[in-house]
Chain A
Amino acid sequence: MKPSNEISRQRRLFHSKRYGIGLLFMLPWLIGFCVFVAVPIGWSIFMSLHKVSVVPGGFKYERFGLKNFKDAFVVDNVFPIELITYFQQMLLMVPIIVIFALLISLMLNQRFPGRFIFRAIFFLPVIFATGQVLSELFAQGAGEIPFLEQYNLQPMVEKYVGLQFATTVMDVLGRVVLILWYSGVQILIFIAGFQTISPSVYEAVRIDGASPWDSFWKITLPASVPFISLNVLYTIIDLFTFPLNPVLQHIRANMFKIDTGYGYASALAWIYFGFVFALIAVVLWLFGRSMKSRGKRS
């Protein structure tokens, strides 16, 4: 005869049933996360704290503490330099890729005859930018831009950018085609994003006498800030797991060296991940702030 108790029991039952259905839908992912992500991550952290050697029938662990992480910076004379160079390149390549994708998608968003053909061509990189085919092509030198040698740009770049960054800039310039190939998904995201801006806004602004130039800066650009941030993140992650990436190649080489082994390689990978994660956090914070301030103003 305690109706309130009965009601709370029923409420609990109702909630657990609701949660039950949600969990049922999530169940495959949750199991998969535990088995194929959480365990390997834990294992990899564990390995990074040990010296791992392969013995018949398994691994042999030798406690190392943080020595692997210290070695990466103190003993290894390749890793820190490669890490820094790659980060310099990445900081240059990410804006280039995103701006390039923005420009191309703006152009593809115009109405003109033959748009379908161009769109089809610009989706090509989505098909095989990820593939072994592309690295095979680049290994053979297809798709290099000859103007670097033809016009002897090296001295000019050195003069204007300074010696330290000249090599970075030249490297990036040498990869122009690669940059183009890695902007396929970004172009797609931008084009999809532009569809969410309602055409009536453009019409209203045009009637108010804004030039197309104005309407780009006042409408298109602010409205695509979320897509820009999405694209920046996607580009960072894409470059980060890029197969020809020198840091990853160094990590892979260290996996099979006898004196370093898996433990050291995992430590390197975690350091690398830490740096990229910090970069992503900074990007998220910056875009989050800009979006918040925009929200306040409007």
Chain B
Amino acid sequence: MNATRVIIRKFGGQAKAIFWSRSVQRIKVFVLGRSVSDGLLAKLILYLLLSIVAYLYVQPILYMISTALKPLSDLLDPTVKWIPRVVTWENFQTAVKGIKYPEALQNTAIIAISCSVVQVLICAMTGYALAKLAVPFKGLITALVILTFLIPPQIIIIPLYVIYSKLSLLNTLFVFLIPAIFGQGLKSALFILIFRQFFKSQPLSLEEAAKLDGASTARLFFGIMLPLARSACLVVFLFSFIWYWNMYYEPSWFLTDNFTPLSIRLDRLEDVLNPSLLGQRNTIDNPATESSKMAAAFLIILPPILVFMFLQRWFVTGIERTGIVE
């Protein structure tokens, strides 16, 4: 009895201290973690920072949706900030009518899909040739590909306009399709470089095996290499699709007639809704049309967002797997 008391008196403090230091350490590990991203504190900071930035990214879209649903009275009322008092679909109706949505959607979809498909194929071929085949002056040609990426479209737009009008391509789908067929579509150079990088990383033995089995180069490319490059193809297709969908500068020169994509129609919506103000471009803040414009903008980004949401998983893993950036 006495002995235990002595032992407790002697070692109790020490045991307590050990117990405390253990639990402190456990809490420390829990809060700070063993490596940077493990601990609670680090996670909280991570979430906080990411949420702030994510808010900045999402905010314009929320603003767009909220403005599109507001009637004019709510828009002019400074007490209404995000949530409209009355939800109205009128703006969407005006927007659909103003940009002739079904027709413009069809135009844009035709341009974007056909050009991106063609671009994937042609850029893959060119990239493959630059990566694996014997081409005279390969270094020079690669440098020229990079050059086409650097040349801003503004420099050559007028000569291009004249060339296209001589070939009578203006105001048709072919004004974008034909350059895409000849490897000069929107940002083709970037895609060629992506494919070149991808094919370069493929082992040589693959080709040798196919060659020994008697496959021709064309067979080798279409039968083996292109299916292998599926993820690269998907990435290129999506980028190309989105850039064709959003392009504004080129169609503002080449497609001025009836065959106009969504981006041009959004730009002209102001004039369509207010024919009396035609030509006065400083009326951009006109509150009467702001809601309709936002509705139109939302209608424009809706299809790519849907496509993206559907393909997002493959897109991300595709980018990670292609090693695009080595």
Contacts and interface: CB of A to CB of B under 8 A. Distances in A.
A155 B65 CA distance: 36
B148 interface: yes
Interface stretch (A60-68, A128-136, A163-171): A128-136
Chain B CB within 10 Å — which of A112, A192, A206, A243 has the most?
A192
A143 B179 contact: no
Contact of A44 (B57, B129, B159, B246): B159
A136 B29 CA distance: 49
Interface stretch (B9-17, B19-27, B88-96, B180-188): B180-188
A37 B46 contact: no
A272 B304 CA distance: 33
Interface in A200-227: 206, 212-213, 226-227
Interface in B130-162: 130, 133-136, 141, 144-145, 148-156, 158-160, 162
A191 B301 contact: no
B266 interface: yes
Interface string A164-208: 000000000000010011000000110111011000000000100
A132 B63 contact: no
B246 A128 contact: yes
A112 B151 contact: no
Interface stretch (A20-28, A86-94, A290-298): A20-28
Contacts, number: 236
B243 interface: yes
A125 B155 contact: no
Contacts of B106: none
Contacts of A21: 133-134, 217
Contact of A28 (B122, B162, B300): B122
Nearest to B118: A28
User: Binding site of A, secondary structure by majority: helix, strand, loop or mixed?
Assistant: helix
A241 B304 contact: no
B49 A107 contact: yes
Contacts of A33: 144, 148, 182-184
B30 interface: no
Contacts of A15: 134
A interface residue count range (under 10 / 10 to 19 / 20 to 34 / 35 or more): 35 or more
Interface in A102-131: 104, 107-108, 110-112, 114, 118-128, 130-131
Contacts of A110: 36-37, 46
A112 B46 contact: yes
Contact of B126 (A25, A227, A241): A25
A25 B129 contact: yes
B300 to A, nearest CB: 6
A272 B151 CA distance: 11
A-B residue pairs, 3 tightest by C-beta:
A32-B182, A29-B183, A131-B246
15 contacts: A25-B129, A28-B122, A30-B141, A32-B184, A43-B156, A44-B155, A47-B159, A127-B301, A131-B301, A132-B264, A143-B63, A241-B153, A262-B158, A266-B155, A266-B158
